[in-house]
A and B are shown apart, each in its own frame.
Chain A
């Protein structure tokens, strides 16, 4: 994966396919502690302790179409490459939380990439699922919430091409405003 946005696009799919109705993404940039935190929280079917241990194994996947599953292992590798870490907490029936920490100042920390595009594409592909995306930097906070968007839209579908373009601009403008790195 070339940037963080592609990892996010990938990991959000895990949450989406686990039967979640609400998927949360939170990014905290904390240069004072030299941390860049990415958190995925869903309310899907969750995993038992044994499965949690296995998901970072590249030869583990729930898919039946192929025998490898690289989403989480690649993200873990990229986090650890900066001196960071990945932690997974999950409870069957409750949901899953994936916490990733990158060392902020490390040269190998991936560039953020097009997070706005990632969110717009994911949100529009799964109209029945609600998403929130919170991004905190020392300069401010931005919260993107599809519940709010859908309320404004009324019966206009969230996968209308012009709405997708709006969401991209809305997120990227606000990320610029809080000086997201």
Chain B
């Protein structure tokens, strides 16, 4: 039988991650990282937001892009779910609609890494749920 993951493994992960982290990374504030918020209310979840969030976390880690991926509420674009809000450091947030794993890959490759705009941006003066 295979081994069960336990808290001891977490201690190893902590040691590994901390050894790899440079001092600069340690002091990195959330503002200097790419921030991604996945709309995860009932509408988003039902449309597949969980898959998108899973994909984003794994892919950004694989490509070594420092980023914070979190959940947010419904922004009122239920028709375009799953939607994600991407904030590159020093830029205005952008909201992308109809995001699936393929679209998420393009957003990472084109917008997050190179700042290229692509289709599917929701062009509005939206207010997010926290601002309401």
List the interface of chain A (C-beta within 8 A of B).
Answer: 1, 6, 9-10, 13, 17, 63-66, 69-71, 74, 114, 117-118, 121-122, 124-126, 148-149, 152-154, 156, 159-166, 169-170, 173-174, 177
**Is A70 in contact with B42, judged by CB distance below 8 angstroms?**
yes
**Is A170 in contact with B129, judged by CB distance below 8 angstroms?**
no
Whether a CB of chain A sits under 8 angstroms from the CB of B45 is yes
List the interface of chain B (C-beta within 8 A of A).
Answer: 4-7, 9-11, 13-14, 16-18, 40-43, 45-46, 50, 53-54, 57-58, 60-61, 68-71, 73-76, 78, 127, 129, 132
Considering the complex, give the chain B residue whose CB is closest to the CB of A5.
B50
Considering the complex, give the chain A residue whose CB is closest to the CB of B128.
A65
Q: A71-B42, A117-B54, A162-B61 are in contact. Are A13 and B10 (CB under 8 A)?
A: no
14 residue pairs bridging A and B, Cβ less than 8 Å apart: A1-B46, A6-B46, A13-B73, A63-B41, A66-B76, A74-B42, A125-B69, A125-B70, A156-B14, A161-B57, A162-B13, A163-B10, A169-B9, A170-B10
Q: DSSP majority for the B interface?
A: helix
**Is A152 in contact with B14, judged by CB distance below 8 angstroms?**
yes
**Is B42 in contact with A10, judged by CB distance below 8 angstroms?**
yes
Q: A1-B45, A122-B71, A177-B4 are in contact. Are A161 and B132 (CB under 8 A)?
A: no
**Is A152 in contact with B71, judged by CB distance below 8 angstroms?**
no
**Is A65 in contact with B54, judged by CB distance below 8 angstroms?**
no
